């Protein structure tokens, strides 16, 4: 169990780094190796939340069909909220086009 938990942490950490660098191919590879697309950090953010927060439109474009874009973090923020709060207009536009979001923070 401990080995599995450490592996999950390592894969999630690598996935987070790949997201922050905007490396779609690396993210796909990590997901293929078993990284959980629904894994979250302590704030409830998935890699998709982080991509939105950091304005990584290439990641949002590549994975918007594969994840729950309406999923909220521990603060009730969706990827759309995080992109808007961070001022990434292109990410906001993309998320609005790709999803049918109820844009209200819960």
Nearest to 56 by CA among 86, 15, 19, 101: 19
CA separation for the pair 33, 11 (Å, rounded): 9
Number of H helices, E strands in the chain: 6, 0
The answer to whether residues 18 and 54 touch, using CB atoms and an 8 Å cutoff, is: no
**pLDDT tens for the 106 residues of the chain, in order:** 323 333 444 445 555 555 665 567 777 777 777 777 778 888 999 888 988 999 989 888 887 777 778 889 999 999 999 999 999 999 999 998 877 655 565 5
Q: Where are the domains of the chain?
A: 2-98
Query: What one-character-per-residue DSSP string does 88-104 give?
Result: -HHHHHHHHHH-----S
Name the CATH superfamily, with its identifier, for domain 2-98.
Ankyrin repeat-containing domain (1.25.40.20)
The position carrying tokens 């998320």 is: 95
């Amino acid at each position: 169990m401990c080995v599995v938990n450490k592996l999950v942490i390592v894969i999630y950490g690598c996935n987070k780094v790949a997201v922050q660098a905007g490396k779609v191919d690396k993210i796909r590879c990590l997901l293929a190796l078993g990284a959980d697309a629904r894994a979250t950090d302590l704030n409830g953010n998935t890699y998709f939340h982080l991509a939105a927060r950091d304005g990584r439109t290439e990641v949002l474009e590549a994975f918007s069909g594969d994840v729950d874009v309406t999923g909220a973090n521990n603060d009730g923020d969706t990827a759309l909220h995080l992109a808007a709060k961070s001022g990434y207009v292109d990410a906001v536009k993309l998320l609005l086009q790709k999803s049918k979001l109820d844009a209200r923070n819960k």
